[in-house]
Structure 1
Amino acid sequence: MAPNFPFPWSDPLLARLRAHLAAEPFARDAAHDLGHLLRVARLAGRLAAEEGADAETCVAAALLHDLVYRPKNHPESSLTAGMAAEQVPEWCRATPGLEAKAEAVAAAVATHSWSGGGEPATREAAVVQDADRLEALGAIGIARVFATGASFGAGLWHAEDPWAEARDLDDKAWSLDHFERKLLKLAAGMKTSAGRRLAEERQRTLLAYLAALRSELQVHSQP
């Protein structure tokens, strides 16, 4: 699917972004690749239209929100939103048509991260945060959680206690634990009405998957 962003700056920005991704010191996992950035940008554009936010700021911030990447088990992983926000103004000022939006784009990038704990201060920042979190829900979210876990050696789930009934959750060891640790909490934290509506739809997909998995695991646990 072509990016198809209706802004004169989008093609030059995407060309620079592709080159940046190819030259990074850390190999990105499949959940944080160019496809993720493009999907979040499309979601941000959709939410911006519904919420009356500035679409250019939202789409640019979504494209640049993971400008700095660290693997999820890296000690700097929770710092990457702030690290990216520091670089974003230069990217915007070097992209004709985005110069005037540099600070607004950087502000939206700075608060998007779950692990960073940022709180959006603008409508655009709220849109970008919601768009990124929507990517962690639904069918795509299910694929991404297991791709991320596999990238640092996490198992699918604990063989003897998959639902953490008699142990502490550990989503660095077991990918299934990440549903309870984070994913099932996202819908309640959406900042925009459009984000909440889409999150509720995608949450149902997560819950249906977990119900199906529980049923299958029960069959396999029977003597």
Structure 2
Amino acid sequence: MRLADFIDDPRSIELIERTRGYARHFFEREGTHGFSHVERVFNLCLHIGKEEGADLEILALAALLHDVARPLESAGRVEDHAVEGARIARHYLRSIGYPEDRTEAVAHAIEAHRFSRGPEPGTLEAKILSDADKLDAIGAIGVARVFMYSGEHGRSIEDSLRHFEEKILKLKDLMYTETARRLAEGRHRFTEEFIERIRREIEGEI
């Protein structure tokens, strides 16, 4: 995906690419919340943001920085990666002289991206980031991530299916934007079909 297809300003593109490099160094290894997840959320944000008329620079920065503290949470060093990620984003953006009001817009989107805890997204950019993060848990990518996580944590296929029922299949109805709701429909349908197929195979159907 070419960033120039979404953003015209060369200075904005330079800032986003600089931020991509900064964000990448927080991720020492891949996994369900590795930098590949960040890149997919970033791509979704730009596509949704273009459709919804969002500020794409703020959205792109928030997407790249939204999980920088996830490795710290996984290691038990911070309680909430969204809160810590917003703090890191503020420090980084202030250090490069980014305008304070726009810094706060990025930080708010990061703080509000988790659907399971507050605060509620209060801006369009925050809503889109939350939607994109949820979309990456549905569909073919979502299925792959569930079983990747299960492999990492020794979880059975049956446990994984319970996770789909308890969390993943509920995400479709939690989207904020019309564009994300439309995208979620197809991904949700694929997930349902996959679950139905794997249950049949578990029961020995041929």
Is TM > 0.5 for Structure 1 vs Structure 2?
Answer: yes
8 Å CA contact retained: 2:161, 2:195: no
User: Against the structure 1 CA distance between its residues 136 and 72, is the aligned structure 2 distance closer, same or farther, given a 3 Å change threshold?
Assistant: farther
User: Against the structure 1 CA distance between its residues 185 and 77, is the aligned structure 2 distance closer, same or farther, given a 3 Å change threshold?
Assistant: farther
Corresponding position of 1:198: 183
Residues 1:36 and 2:33 are matched in the alignment: no
Corresponding position of 2:115: 114
How do 1:28-67 residues align onto structure 2 when only pairs under 5 Å count? 28=29, 30-67=31-68
Residues 1:208 and 2:206 are matched in the alignment: no
Corresponding position of 1:164: none
Equivalent residue in structure 2 for 1:17, among 3, 23, 27:
23
The separation in 2 between residues aligned to 1:95 and 1:4, in whole angstroms, is: 24
Equivalent residue in structure 1 for 2:170, among 185, 189, 192:
185
Q: Which moved more, 1:9-18 or 1:184-193?
A: 9-18
Listed as ranges, the gaps of 5+ residues in structure 1 are: 23-27, 158-173
The structure where helix makes up a greater share of residues is 2
Residues 1:141 and 2:142 are matched in the alignment: yes
Q: Name the Cα RMSD after superposition.
A: 2.4
DSSP-derived class of the 2:32 partner: helix
Corresponding position of 2:87: 86
Residues 1:130 and 2:131 are matched in the alignment: yes
Q: If the length of structure 2 is used for normalisation, what is the TM-score?
A: 0.86
Q: How far is 1:153 from its partner?
A: 2.3
DSSP-derived class of the 1:176 partner: helix
Q: How far is 1:45 from its partner?
A: 0.6
Which deviations, in whole Å up to 9, do the C-alpha atoms of 1:119-150 show, x marking residues without a partner? 11111100000000000001000001111222
User: Against the structure 1 CA distance between its residues 206 and 95, is the aligned structure 2 distance closer, same or farther, given a 3 Å change threshold?
Assistant: farther
Which deviations, in whole Å up to 9, do the C-alpha atoms of 1:166-212 show, x marking residues without a partner? xxxxxxxx222110111000010100000000001100110110111
**Amino acid of the residue matched to residue 61 of structure 2?**
A
Equivalent residue in structure 2 for 1:5, among 3, 6, 27:
3
User: Against the structure 1 CA distance between its residues 73 and 149, is the aligned structure 2 distance closer, same or farther, given a 3 Å change threshold?
Assistant: farther
Which deviations, in whole Å up to 9, do the C-alpha atoms of 1:104-125 show, x marking residues without a partner? 0000000111333431111110
Q: How far is 1:4 from its partner?
A: 3.5
Q: If the length of structure 1 is used for normalisation, what is the TM-score?
A: 0.80
The separation in 2 between residues aligned to 1:40 and 1:77, in whole angstroms, is: 22
**Amino acid of the residue matched to residue 207 of structure 1?**
E
Task: Report the number of matched residues.
Answer: 198
The separation in 2 between residues aligned to 1:85 and 1:34, in whole angstroms, is: 17
